Amino acid sequence: MRKYVIAGNWKMNMTPDQTKTLIDGIKAELFASELKAEVVICPPFIDLAAAVEACKDTKIKVGAQNVHWAEKGAFTGEISADMLKAVGAEYVIIGHSERRQYFGETDITVNQRVKAAIAAGLKVILCVGELLEEREQGITAEIVAKQTKIALMGVTAEQMKDVIIAYEPVWAIGTGKTASSEQADEVCEIIRNVVATLYCGKTAEELTIQYGGSMNAANAAELLSMPNVDGGLIGGASLKSADFAVIVKAVR
Ligand code: PGA
């Protein structure tokens, strides 16, 4: 039995006060429902403390959107894994395509961040996914395999218990263009097979693989019904408590 995980990636949205309001709204929506999925909320760094406070005494977990690989030092503007742990974050998103596209993130720095996060005791949501040109060129499988293999260099089978992979086709992020459930399932299965070759069948079977990219209240149930889709990484729709709750409840 794989764990379903629904994570909200708030990106660069919300102040600490707004964080409290939105989480209170999510709690109200989910109140009294038996959660079939782990729920994770990933606000900006500056909101983490408010999010941890708002999620106290609930099952909702809090995650960050990035982490630096060094323990500490002269890295202006960066945040370490120990700092995230100290504020109460349990998860961290690593390798999001917006980091890769706009902030020069590479497969190698993604790997460094993944190793540092796991070593500090954080759970990782590792993002992989192809560009539209890559899909059109027919190289989606090669691209996600390469991203996955490099990101997991030096990560042991034991440590894979702390890793979730999010398949996020870049052309579907924030565009309103969702991958079809078949497309999502196909690539999630490719990723699962890559993990099976890197580790073993059991590690691959137990791995939670999310789909992300314009997942919303209307399409979540169908995407989440696919055999290789074990959750979602939700951007836009995670900023509305009612929509996010519908997605969480779509897990059966
Ligand atoms: P979106 O973002 O749901 O707004 O497409 C998903 C993501 O970037 O994680």
Cα 49 to ligand 1 centre (Å) = 23
Number of domains forming the structure of the chain: 1
Helix (H, G, I), strand (E, B) or coil at 187: helix
Pocket of ligand 1 (CB under 6 A): 9, 168, 173-174, 212-215, 233-237
Q: Which atom of ligand 1 is nearest to the CA of 98?
A: 8
Q: Do 14 and 45 touch, CB atoms closer than 8 A?
A: no
CA–centroid distance, residue 73 to ligand 1 (Å):
32
HSE-CB for 186 with a 13 A CA cutoff: 9
Burial of 23 (C-beta count, 10 Å sphere; 0-12/13-18/19+): buried
The answer to whether 168 is a known catalytic residue is yes
pLDDT at 1 (0 to 100): 79
Q: Does this model's pTM top 0.85?
A: yes
Which position among 68, 96, 98, 105 bears the catalytic label? 96
pLDDT at 182: 98
The reply to whether 96 belongs to the active site is yes
Question: Under a CB-based contact definition with an 8 Å cutoff, are residues 33 and 60 in contact?
Answer: no
Closest atom, ligand 1, to C-alpha of 237: 3
Residue 177 domain boundaries: 5-249
128 forms beta bridges with: 167
51 CA distance to ligand 1 middle (Å): 20
Tokens 């709690």: give the residue. 27
- Dist. CA 162–CA 120, nearest whole Å: 11
Does residue 126 contact residue 91 with C-beta atoms inside 8 Å? no
pLDDT at 62: 98
Distance between Cα 64 and ligand 1 center (Å): 15
Q: Are 187 and 169 in contact (CB under 8 A)?
A: yes
Would you state the pLDDT for residue 99? 98
Among residues 94, 10, 21, 88, which one has the least CA distance to residue 48? 88
Please give the angle made by the CA atoms of 103, 9 and 64, to the nearest 5 degrees.
Answer: 70
Q: Hey, whose CA ends up nearest to atom 3 of ligand 1?
A: 235
**Residue 24 CB: number of other CB atoms within 10 A?**
12
Residue 123: what are its φ and ψ, rounded to 5°?
A: -95, 140
In whole angstroms, how large is the CA radius of gyration of the chain? 17
Which residue lies with its CA nearest to atom 7 of ligand 1? 235
Per residue of the chain (252 residues), give pLDDT as tens: 799 999 999 999 999 999 999 999 999 999 988 999 999 999 999 999 999 999 999 999 999 999 999 999 999 999 999 999 999 999 999 999 999 999 999 999 999 999 999 999 999 999 999 999 999 999 999 999 999 999 999 999 999 999 999 999 999 998 888 899 999 999 999 999 999 999 999 999 999 999 999 999 999 999 999 999 999 999 999 999 999 999 999 998
pLDDT on residue 10: 98
CATH number of the domain bearing residue 193: 3.20.20.70
- Structure confidence at residue 252 (pLDDT): 84
